[in-house]
Structure 1
Amino acid sequence: MTTVPLSGFLPADALDEFRRFDGPLIYLAAPLGHPEPSIRQERFESVNNYCGYLIRQRVLVFSPLSLGASLDENAISNSAWYALGLQMLARCDELRILALDGWEESVGVSLETRYARQLSILVSVADPLTYEVTLLHGN
């Protein structure tokens, strides 16, 4: 939790909500790339739905896929995008993978998983239908 007093900045109800967001910071990974635009759109919607679920549970979550969709496609190069994502991941307490079809073959998810393990960050997998979370074991 922050060390900056917020009582003068936020109304009482917002301050109560602020205090409820007091858990680990989760980096949400999921596959996005696919030749079919409709599948990319489904993946994007699934990620946003899961982010919404986590936020309603008062979980701190960062989703590079959700952020990236709001940017102009020419706003940042692919290499800068990977660097931004890994910098954010390094600041998180957990890497959670939304196990959409293709996640085990995803180059991006693989890169994020390897980096999280290198930094000893907890890696978990969320079922995209039930949202049940399990630890990911292995390399």
Structure 2
Amino acid sequence: MKLYFIACPYSHADEEIVQQRFDLCTSAATKLTMAGYAVYSQITMSHPMNVLATKMDRRIRWAPIDEAFMAKCDELIVLTLPGWDESSGVANEIEYFKSRNRKVWTYDDFAAEHKL
């Protein structure tokens, strides 16, 4: 079974937008999982930890952790939420997969191809 890494923009000055991105990413991950796809949703996993770390006045460096998970994933699914094309995190994730000749999908293309 293939394992898919889900990418989407996350950071923003407006906490409501951060929460909205978390909710949308978690919704997409849930839909994909319910359809039988194995997905790793970094935003779904990390958001609650980021909230707690912020309350403790700490910051987590996610890039090396993300890379460990990306190394295990076969393909990338990008949620094209507003700001995705300006996100350095999403750009780095796309580059990681492309540089290893791994398929990069937009969520819409994946959903259309797999009839979701």
Contact preservation (8 Å) 1:26, 1:93: yes
TM-score (norm 2): 0.84
Q: Quick check: which one's helix share is greater?
A: 2
Query: Sequence identity of aligned pairs in percent?
Result: 27
Letter in 2 for 1:87: A
Q: Could you list the runs of 5+ residues in structure 1 that have no partner in the other structure?
A: 1-22, 135-139
Classify 1:49/1:36 alpha carbon distance in 2 versus 1 (closer, same or farther; 3 Å). Answer: same
**Is the partner of 2:23 in helix, strand or coil?**
helix
Which residue in the other structure is 2:2 paired with?
24
Q: Let me know the Cα RMSD of the aligned residues.
A: 2.0
Alignment of 1:1-139 (within 5 A): 23-71=1-49, 72-73=52-53, 77-78=60-61, 81-127=62-108, 132-133=111-112
SS of residue in 2 equivalent to 1:26: strand
Q: Are 1:125 and 1:133, in contact at CA under 8 Å, matched by a contact in 2?
A: no
Q: Which runs of 4+ in 1 moved over 4 A?
A: none
Q: CA deviation at 1:70?
A: 3.0
Pair 1:124–1:108, CA change in 2 (3 A): same
Number of residues paired by the alignment? Answer: 108
Q: Shift of the alpha carbon at 1:27?
A: 0.1
Larger radius of gyration: 1
SS at 1:70 equivalent: helix
Deviation at 1:69, TM superposition (A): 1.8
Residue type of the partner of 1:91?
Answer: K
Shift of 1:117: 1.0
TM value normalised by structure 1: 0.71
Supply the distance in 1 between the matched residues of 2:34 and 2:76 (Cα, whole angstroms): 19
Which runs of no fewer than 5 residues in structure 2 stay unpaired?
none
Structure 1 counterpart SS, 2:13: coil
Using the TM superposition, give the Cα deviation of residue 64 of structure 1 relative to its aligned residue in structure 2, in angstroms. Answer: 0.8
TM-superposed deviation, 1:33? 1.1
Q: Is the 8 A contact 1:90 1:119 kept in 2?
A: no
Do the aligned partners of residues 133 and 36 (structure 1) sit closer, same or farther apart at CA in structure 2, a change above 3 Å counting? farther
